[in-house]
Amino acid sequence: ALFNWLYARHTGGTFLLRIEDTDRERSRDEYTQALLESLAWTGIVPDEPIVVQSERFPLYQQIAADLLASGKAYRCYCSPAELRERLGENAASDEGYVRYDRRCRTAPVHEGVPYAIRFAVPLDRETVVVDDQIRGMVSFPVSEIDDFIIVRSDGTPIYNFVVVVDDAAMGITDIIRAEEHLNNTPRQILLYEACGYQVPRFAHLALILGSDGSKLSKRHGATAVVDYRRDGYLADALCVYLARLGWAHGDQEIFTRDELIQAFSLEGVNK
């Protein structure tokens, strides 16, 4: 959020905030409130009303229907039990990396039968290239990209699909996010193209890691932003510290907020 806000301020752009809560099990109101409280304290506030994905389901349903009608997506009638039996245990889980065998790609419509919606990955190209503003050109073989689900059989849309629809609806031009999303990017690029949307510019930031090299978590002593406020830290001090953790401007260590905005650029971000 800090790097997006600094980039928007430096370039004269607009900083937007979106609550991505389509995963009902992982989305709780207390998480959202803690996030908003943290951003308000640090002065990183959006320039337009906050977009909440769970309030936009009719839009996602319409775009999914358009993709089905154009043949860029298809109904998949395979149940999790069928996928496990045919392709192995991982095939039925979100974390599984077993590629779907495209059995339903040419299947006729079965009225009254529950179905998920899968994106039909184009078979006439070899790679998807991400032009990353921090990492340079990153190429992904299309042969390694699944015909991934965009809407579950219960009607709830998947993250990779809804963020693409929202980016277009919100007029997003630049996305600065964690490197763990880099592997999602080729799928999203294929969806931008299939929907006829402009592909935004991407920049993937290195993660803040614990002393053992794994993602920072509570077991490393990671602290909630609001706890720093409670302990008497200044918001500007925390923002300068975080900015300097992944970005440099010569040897300068201390910045006012205006100096941060003036100096910030993606060229100074370490990959």
Which of helix, strand or coil describes residue 243? helix
Computed on alpha carbons and rounded to an integer, the radius of gyration of the chain in Å comes to 21
Tell me how far apart the alpha carbons of residues 16 and 171 are, in angstroms, rounded to a whole number: 10
Catalytic residue at 218?
yes
Tell me how far apart the alpha carbons of residues 271 and 263 are, in angstroms, rounded to a whole number: 18
User: What's the burial of 196, exposed, middle or buried (CB within 10 Å: 0-12/13-18/19+)?
Assistant: exposed
How many C-alpha atoms does 214 have within 13 Å on its Cβ side?
Answer: 7
Extract the tokens encoding 107.
């299947």
33 closest CA partner among 21, 16, 15, 47: 21
Collect all residues with Cβ–Cβ distance below 8 Å to 65 and sequence separation of at least 6.
none
Q: Of these residues, 72, 215, 218, 271, which one is catalytic? A: 218
Q: Which residues are catalytic?
A: 218
